[in-house]
Amino acid sequence: MLLLLCIGLPSIAQQQQQRPAPVQKRDQKKKEVVVDTIPFYNGTYVGVDLYGIGSKMLGGDFMSSEVSIGVNLKNKFIPTIEFGMGGTDTWNETGIHYKSKAAPFFRIGVDYNTMAKKKEKNSYLYVGLRYAFSSFKYDVSTMPVDDPIWGGSIGNPSLEDDYWGGSIPFSHLGMKGSMQWFELVVGVKVRIYKNFNMGWSVRMKYKTNASTNEYANPWYVPGYGKFKSNNMGITYSLIYKLPL
């Protein structure tokens, strides 16, 4: 009996050593604690659009300038407000003069950083949505043409009525207008030096409501562009991130 006991004890001990650890302890070892190190407030950006001013200097039909302010939350969501001024003073090919003194426009919305999970924070690609509004005054007029034979002035031949014939010069000044619209935004922001960044965005604009004068529609709407049902815009901005 003693001999059997001496032989059995080592065998039992060996089986206990080879027995696998409990599943619960093994799972606990595999668990890793993930700590969110991104603060809720991650900076404020102030941007100035250069595209509108540059476009006018290069011969564009209207001038626009704007400032944007965005607050970075968790490096994911950037609530943004944009406000600026826009105006035009141009002629079309038929001799109609469109003029609008610089008038304000406002946008409010939010951007989403599609690269929020990336460790690289020097740039990000974002998509966003804006609600926009503008109220303005505009002039629409034609210039009479001098009669080369009899002197005096005659109606603009480019605007001659196909049915009744002839045309009458008109001048509608100080008409009031307003517009509301939505914008879908896709853009990129890249850090260029310390707290300075450059940003590009493409915007699809969709008119939702407009109020114009009965005599004529505006040719240009501040912040929206040419007056039509939908439009596309571009911004190219210099952006500064305020120190935390």
60-241: CATH topology is Porin (2.40.160)
H-assigned helices in the chain: 2-18, 23-30, 51-57
User: What is the per-residue pLDDT for 31?
Assistant: 59
Evaluate if residue 98 carries a pLDDT over 50: yes
Task: Look at 35 and 17; give whichever has higher pLDDT.
Answer: 35
**pLDDT tens digits for 184-226?**
999 999 999 999 999 999 999 999 999 999 988 999 999 999 9
Adjacent-strand bridge partners of 112: 77, 127
- Residue 69: CB atoms within 10 A of its CB come to 14
Q: What is the pTM of this model?
A: 0.77
**pLDDT tens digits for 105-136?**
999 999 999 998 776 578 889 999 999 999 99
Angle, CA 182 vertex, CA 179 and CA 183 arms, to 5°: 125
* Cβ-based neighbours of 13, under 8 Å, separated by 6 or more: none
| Every domain of the chain and the residues it spans | 60-241
Evaluate if residue 8 carries a pLDDT over 90: no
User: What is the per-residue pLDDT for 96?
Assistant: 85
User: What is the per-residue pLDDT for 223?
Assistant: 96
**pLDDT tens digits for 220-234?**
999 999 999 899 999
User: What is the per-residue pLDDT for 18?
Assistant: 56
User: What is the per-residue pLDDT for 244?
Assistant: 81
| Over residues 33-40, mean pLDDT | 74
Please give the torsion angle defined by the CA atoms of residues 51, 55, 58 and 62, in that order, rounded to the nearest 10 degrees: -150
In the block, which residue shows the tokens 């031949």?
A: 157
User: What is the per-residue pLDDT for 26?
Assistant: 54
